[in-house]
Amino acid sequence: MWRGGAVGLFCAGVAGQLGKNILVLDHAEILGENIRNSGGGRCNFTNLHSSPVNFLSLNQHFVKSALARYPSAEFIKLVAAHGIDFHEKHQGQLFCDDSAKQIIEMLFAECSKGKVTIRNPVTIKSIQQEGDLWAVATDDGLEKSRAVVMATGGLPVPAIGATAYSLDIAKQFGLNVIAPRPALVPLSFTAETFGNLNELAGLSIPVRIAAGSKGRRYGACRFNEDLLLTHKGLSGPAVLQASGYWEEGEPIHIDWLGAIERPGGFNCDELFNNEENRVKLSETILASVLPQRLAKAFADQRGLTGRKWAEVSKKDRQALKELLTNWSVKPAGTLGWKKAEVMLGGVDTKDLDGQTMISRKNRGLFFIGACVDVTGHLGGHNFQWAWASGFVCAQAL
Ligand SMILES: Cc1cc2nc3c(=O)[nH]c(=O)nc-3n(C[C@H](O)[C@H](O)[C@H](O)COP(=O)(O)OP(=O)(O)OC[C@H]3O[C@@H](n4cnc5c(N)ncnc54)[C@H](O)[C@@H]3O)c2cc1C
């Protein structure tokens, strides 16, 4: 018995085709909404390079078994077998050429092949264990089965029906839940820390970003990705990636020049110590390595606009170098569940068997997909986790 999001439908299709009798129950009017909205409508359905290093979890080894048994290559084969054309965008990210709807249609077709019964919208009222069976009371009657698979996803996007139901059921049956937190989410800043950068909303620039640190919940990260300035703060792939590692009260670090591609890397001293630059205006020098609007904003911030480089004191140059290569700034917070793509935390992997996704505490109770304390990096890894965890669960039912 299931829920009908990405992992629920996928797992149901696989299990049905293994000859299992499957019923999918979901409270949503329309199934697969998270898939439909994903990847800008084209669904970044997996990543060619998906591997355990692309996941955050208190137990980093937990994903290994499922990912090894159902790697991205397997899902790509399935997509190709359904005649869905796709392309690689960036760092192994695979998107449908046409529409995310094709992935939803594929999942329904797989369910249909496995003679899966899908019932929605249905409200689940309670789940109880009755001897060897599970009794699921719904507003459409009582269902009994040998196994229940919880696949209600994470908390992002409450507007399309996200709930904490899997986490509630986990707690009801004695499993630990790691406190959930939004991730792959833009970060907000106070006016004081952000200064004049809010005037640059819409500007995107490749940067090197770092967040977290050793000993923190998910350790430290470093990404070379695009950063987007917005009215509320920072977004874009760089910041979304870093948001999972960032902890409240801690700074993030941005090297605005770190993603400049030069053989041997870019050395800031080239810019600062170049004799030819002495007679140039500060903002002109900055604009040789940064977008013009950002160069102007930095020069304004430091009171350097209109000043020749030769007139800038050593101390000011040092401060500018620090700003350009290691801007250490404390976000005020995240934009929350409404804007998050994924959830950090969830059902504690300590209480699950990574080979089957079954609860170690209850016979016949499984947790798969985004409700588990496994969160992927941006780039198709979250769907890959859904497919992999759904696949191993289906084999074990
Ligand atoms: C805007 C956006 C874009 C994204 N883009 C990508 C992307 O391109 N690539 C990628 O890898 N990941 C992406 N993600 C993340 C990805 O969508 C999730 O990781 C994935 O959908 C998780 O699958 P799931 O089946 O566990 O949960 P979901 O797909 O969220 O499915 C959960 C299902 O459970 C149902 N449900 C919830 N509560 C109840 C209840 N109480 N009773 C009955 N049913 C219930 C819901 O109706 C839903 O059908 C994106 C997420 C967002 C929000």
- Ligand 1 geometric centre to CA of 7 (Å): 8
Backbone angles phi, psi at 227, to 5 degrees: -110, 140
Same domain, 325 and 194: yes
d(CA 327, CA 322): 6
* Distance from residue 312's CA to the centre of ligand 1 (Å): 53
Q: Are residues 293 and 268 in the same domain?
A: yes
What does R_g of the chain's alpha carbons equal in angstroms? 24
> Mean pLDDT throughout 229-249?
95
Residues 218, 327 within the same domain: yes
The string over 113-143, giving b where at least 16 C-beta atoms fall within 10 Å of a residue's C-beta and e elsewhere, is ebebebeeebebeebeeeeeebebebeeeeb
Q: What is the CATH number for 277? A: 2.40.30.10
Residues with Cβ < 8 Å from 213, sequence gap 6 or more?
Answer: 219, 220, 250
Mean pLDDT of the chain: 94
pLDDT exceeds cutoff 90 at 159: no
35 CA distance to ligand 1 middle (Å):
7
Ligand 1 pocket by Cβ (under 6 Å): 3-8, 26-28, 31, 34, 37-39, 43-44, 124, 151-153, 156-157, 161, 163, 165, 341-342, 369-370, 380-383, 386
**pLDDT tens digits along 116-125:** 999 999 999 9
CA 316 – CA 333 distance, rounded (Å) = 30
In whole angstroms, what is the distance from residue 57 CA to residue 75 CA? 23
C-beta neighbour count of 165 within 10 angstroms: 17
As for how many domains the chain has, the answer is 2
pLDDT tens per residue across span 318-342: 888 899 999 999 999 999 999 999 9
Q: What is the average pLDDT across 170-198? A: 93
Q: Say what the pLDDT of residue 195 is.
A: 81
Query: Are 348 and 175 a contacting pair, CB within 8 Å?
Result: yes
Residue-wise pLDDT for 262-291, tens only, equals 666 677 777 778 888 888 999 999 998 899
SS (H, E, C) 316-360: HHHHHHHHHHCEEECCCEECCCCCCCEEEEEECHHHECCCCCEEC
CATH number of the domain at 97, please. Answer: 3.50.50.60
Could you say which DSSP state residue 112 is in? H
Q: Answer yes or no: do 152 and 33 share one domain.
A: yes
Mean of the pLDDT values across residues 246-269? 84
Query: By residue range, what is the domain housing residue 16?
Result: 6-182+339-396
Q: What percent of the chain has pLDDT over 70?
A: 98
Q: Are residues 366 and 279 in the same domain?
A: no
Q: For residues 252 and 246, what is the distance between their CA atoms, to the nearest angstrom?
A: 7
Mutating to test ligand 1, I would choose from 3, 118, 347 the residue with most ligand atoms within 8 A of its C-beta, which is 3
Q: Give the span between the Cα atoms of 170 and 177, in whole angstroms.
A: 7
If you average pLDDT over residues 73-92, what whole number do you get?
Answer: 97
Q: How confident is the model at residue 161 (pLDDT cuts 50, 70, 90)?
A: confident
